[in-house]
């Protein structure tokens, strides 16, 4: 409410309404159909039977009451309340019982349908939650099981629900981290630490993969010339540096056309996928030329230039399988060495007979020379007799039993013949002394492996056996001489020579004791396993070499 000038407010309230009293209800009832009843106070208007039936009934909530004498008629009553919630009147409607029952049935049916709908809604929500939450969780579990079975890591794909996005992201992060570390470990396991090239195992795996694919490829087998001489002259650290320099040159020349591997020792292998023999020869010639033209640092200046000899074999024309292909590449490499080194030679079937013929002549001449030198050594010591010959035979047999290739076993026999050639530099008074050696004499005797190595280093074809001779008196526990090498740091061939030399010495008469029996010698070998001798080689010697026939003692 406002003032006359439309300003306000004005204190007070204006209430508009209609007074509900007996007169109002009487007027309303007279205007209503006869099937309606109005209740006000203690009076009932509209249906006398209903008034008699409802006398004394408290009407404060909706009710349905049967009306007598009309049992098939019911009265539905709805109370009317004011704004304060106080009951003031009621309105009733006379309906047939069938109508009310039908309405009740409809209500119950609708209630049942609503209940069913609610249940369906709950089930749907549950299934939706299961689809939204449980399915991604199940996918993660299945992914983990698959990774365990296949031993392979794989991130989850797709977009997860918001509730599981963090779990999804964390799982993929974990998979990526593990995969990265696994890849790093694989790279480390496949890499040669010294040169940074892939190692021999990686070479074999890639070679088998290329062979299985059946597509053309070529192998380059590269061997450094005069590296052993550099090792002797400048030391092994210098040799390792030259090998690393050469590996870098080969890798730079090959580039993306192939992969470079440390095959073993001073050999480098190159696999060229898709390259035929002529293309491989071009790569090989570039490698040979760049290695030959490379100027080494002054502190690595060798006595002879370090060059590279290369043998080439191409698949499938030079080998039906990978084993044959590698063997033919090695034959081509051997031919490059025989032709004067610093050469590139492609494998050809006519190459092998020529190589075998030349090698046969050189081998025969070499054996005559070695046996003559060994005989000179044995003649100086009346107690050694044929000791060198017997050590060579035992070393050859032990090398075969240990699984060494034929070429290695051949050189083991030669090393056995020459293992004591350094005794040429030992005075007869010391070499043939009957009693115990003085400390000075023993120190002189301990130099014979070193002297032997110096003798052998002048025979170019015997460079390979020099470290075997120098170290054949090393002990497995590191207390031997001349360098105190230990365990597998001692060359395998030197460990073989040590067993062959010691066994034959034990069953032969010596200036300071008579020969031991076979059983006594075997017992001593067993006692010195892991101390003086390689325990694995001792077992092979005892179980697989000696049963072939006893060595003859020197007399």
**Cα 551 to Cα 516: distance, rounded to the nearest angstrom:** 13
Task: Indicate whether 14 belongs to any domain.
Answer: no
Q: How many domains does the chain have?
A: 4
**Cα 514 to Cα 507: distance, rounded to the nearest angstrom:** 8
**Cα 474 to Cα 471: distance, rounded to the nearest angstrom:** 5
Same domain membership, residue 425 and residue 289: no
For 278-343, what is the HEC assignment? Answer: HHHHHHHHHHHHHHHHCCCCHHHCCCCCCEEEEEEEEECCCCCCHHHHHHHHHHHHHHHHHCCCCC
Point out which residues pair with 80 in neighbouring strands: 89
Angle made by CA atoms 218, 224, 229, in degrees to the nearest 5: 165
Which alpha helices (DSSP H) does 457-491 contain, by range? 466-470
Report the CATH number that the domain containing residue 335 is assigned in CATH.
Answer: 3.30.70.270
Same domain membership, residue 92 and residue 32: yes
Same domain membership, residue 340 and residue 361: no
Q: Is the peptide bond before 482 cis (omega within 30 degrees of 0)?
A: yes
**Cα 162 to Cα 241: distance, rounded to the nearest angstrom:** 58
Same domain membership, residue 158 and residue 227: no
Q: How large is the C-alpha radius of gyration of the chain?
A: 53
What's the pLDDT score for residue 555? 46
Task: Indicate whether 148 belongs to any domain.
Answer: no
Same domain membership, residue 415 and residue 337: no
Same domain membership, residue 498 and residue 364: yes
Task: Indicate whether 309 belongs to any domain.
Answer: yes
Angle made by CA atoms 194, 199, 202, in degrees to the nearest 5: 160
Same domain membership, residue 431 and residue 282: no
What's the pLDDT score for residue 524? 94
Q: Is the peptide bond before 69 cis (omega within 30 degrees of 0)?
A: yes
Answer with the one of 349, 376, 405 that is the final residue of a domain: 349
Task: Indicate whether 147 belongs to any domain.
Answer: no
Same domain membership, residue 419 and residue 385: yes
What's the pLDDT score for residue 160? 64
What's the pLDDT score for residue 109? 76
Task: Indicate whether 316 belongs to any domain.
Answer: yes
**Cα 210 to Cα 270: distance, rounded to the nearest angstrom:** 13
Report the CATH number that the domain containing residue 495 is assigned in CATH.
Answer: 1.10.3210.10
CB under 8 A, 24+ apart: contacts of 503-507: 503/394, 503/541, 503/551, 504/387, 504/390, 504/391, 504/394, 504/551, 504/553, 504/554, 505/387, 507/550, 507/551, 507/553
Task: Indicate whether 133 belongs to any domain.
Answer: no
> Per residue of the chain (555 residues), what is the pLDDT tens digit?
555 666 666 566 666 666 655 566 566 666 665 456 777 666 676 666 656 666 666 666 565 555 544 555 566 677 777 777 777 777 776 666 666 667 667 777 776 777 777 777 767 666 666 666 666 667 667 766 776 676 666 666 666 666 566 766 777 777 777 667 666 666 667 788 888 899 888 898 899 899 888 899 999 999 998 887 777 667 788 888 999 999 999 999 999 999 999 988 889 999 999 999 999 999 999 999 999 998 888 777 665 678 899 999 999 999 888 888 998 999 999 888 888 789 999 998 877 544 444 454 455 555 656 666 666 666 666 555 478 888 999 999 999 999 998 888 888 998 998 888 888 777 877 877 777 888 888 888 898 899 888 888 767 678 889 999 999 999 999 999 999 999 999 999 999 999 999 999 899 877 667 888 989 999 999 999 999 999 999 999 999 988 755 555 554
> Contact at 8 Å (CB) between 45 and 89?
no
Same domain membership, residue 256 and residue 232: yes
What's the pLDDT score for residue 217? 95
Answer with the one of 189, 217, 239 that is the final residue of a domain: 189
CB under 8 A, 24+ apart: contacts of 273-279: 273/210, 273/215, 273/217, 274/215, 274/216, 274/217, 275/216, 275/217, 275/218, 275/314, 276/216, 276/218, 276/314, 277/218, 277/312, 277/314, 277/317, 277/318, 277/346, 279/218
Same domain membership, residue 325 and residue 373: no
Same domain membership, residue 257 and residue 158: no
Same domain membership, residue 341 and residue 304: yes
Structure pTM? Answer: 0.40
Answer with the one of 285, 318, 349 that is the final residue of a domain: 349
What's the pLDDT score for residue 466? 93
> Contact at 8 Å (CB) between 471 and 374?
no
What's the pLDDT score for residue 391? 92
- Spell out the residues 6+ positions from residue 383 whose beta carbon is closer than 8 angstroms to its own: 432, 508, 509, 510, 511, 554
> Contact at 8 Å (CB) between 274 and 215?
yes
What's the pLDDT score for residue 101? 65
Task: Indicate whether 485 belongs to any domain.
Answer: yes
**Cα 215 to Cα 221: distance, rounded to the nearest angstrom:** 20
Domain that holds residue 81: 22-103
């Amino acid at each position: 409410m406002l003032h006359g000038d439309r300003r306000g407010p004005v204190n007070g309230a204006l209430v508009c309404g209609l007074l509900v009293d007996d007169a109002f209800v009487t007027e309303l009832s007279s205007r209503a159909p006869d099937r309606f009843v109005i209740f006000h106070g203690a009076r009932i208007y509209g249906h006398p039977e209903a008034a008699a039936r409802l006398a004394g009934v408290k009407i404060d909530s909706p009710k349905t009451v049967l009306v007598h004498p009309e049992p098939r008629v019911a009265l539905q009553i709805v109370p009317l309340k004011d704004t304060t919630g106080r009951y003031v009147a009621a309105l009733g409607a006379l309906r047939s019982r069938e109508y009310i029952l039908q309405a009740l049935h409809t209500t119950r049916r609708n209630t049942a349908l609503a209940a069913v709908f609610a249940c369906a809604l709950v089930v749907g929500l549950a299934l939706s939650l299961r689809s939204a939450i449980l399915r991604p969780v199940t996918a993660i579990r299945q992914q983990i099981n698959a990774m365990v079975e296949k031993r392979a890591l794989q991130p989850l794909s797709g977009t997860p629900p918001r509730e599981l996005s963090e779990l999804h992201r964390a799982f993929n992060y974990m998979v990526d981290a593990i995969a990265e570390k696994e890849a790093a470990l694989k790279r480390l396991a496949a890499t040669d630490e010294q040169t940074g090239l892939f190692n021999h195992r990686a070479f074999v795996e890639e070679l088998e993969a290329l062979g299985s694919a059946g597509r053309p490829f070529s192998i380059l087998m590269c061997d450094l010339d005069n590296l052993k001489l550099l090792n002797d002259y400048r030391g092994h650290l210098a040799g390792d540096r030259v090998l690393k320099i050469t590996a870098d040159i080969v890798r730079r020349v090959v580039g993306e056309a192939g992969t470079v591997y440390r095959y073993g020792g001073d050999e480098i292998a190159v696999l060229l996928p898709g390259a035929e023999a002529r293309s491989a020869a071009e790569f090989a010639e570039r490698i040979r030329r760049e290695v030959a033209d490379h100027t080494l640092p002054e502190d690595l200046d060798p006595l002879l230039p370090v060059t590279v000899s290369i043998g080439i074999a191409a698949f499938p024309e030079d080998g039906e399988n990978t084993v044959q292909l590698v063997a033919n590449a090695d034959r081509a490499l051997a031919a490059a060495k025989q032709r004067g080194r610093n050469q590139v030679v492609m494998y050809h079937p006519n190459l092998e007979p020529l190589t075998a013929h030349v090698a046969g002549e050189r081998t025969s001449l070499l054996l005559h020379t070695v046996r003559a030198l060994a005989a000179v050594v044995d003649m100086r010591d009346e107690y050694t007799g044929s000791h060198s010959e017997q050590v060579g035979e035992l070393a050859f047999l032990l090398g075969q039993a240990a699984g060494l290739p034929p070429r290695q076993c051949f050189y083991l026999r030669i090393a056995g013949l020459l293992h004591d050639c350094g005794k040429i530099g030992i005075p007869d008074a010391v070499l043939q002394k009957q009693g115990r050696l003085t400390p000075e004499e023993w120190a002189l005797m301990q130099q014979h492996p070193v002297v032997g190595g110096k003798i052998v280093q002048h025979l170019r074809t015997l460079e390979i056996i020099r470290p075997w001779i120098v170290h054949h008196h090393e002990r497995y526990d590191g207390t031997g001489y001349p360098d105190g090498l230990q365990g597998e740091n001692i060359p395998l061939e030197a460990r073989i020579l040590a067993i062959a030399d010691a066994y034959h010495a034990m069953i032969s008469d010596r200036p300071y004791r008579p020969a031991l029996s076979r059983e006594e010698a075997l017992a001593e070998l067993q006692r010195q396993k892991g101390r003086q001798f390689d325990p694995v080689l001792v077992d092979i010697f005892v179980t697989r070499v000696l049963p072939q026939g006893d060595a003859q003692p020197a007399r």
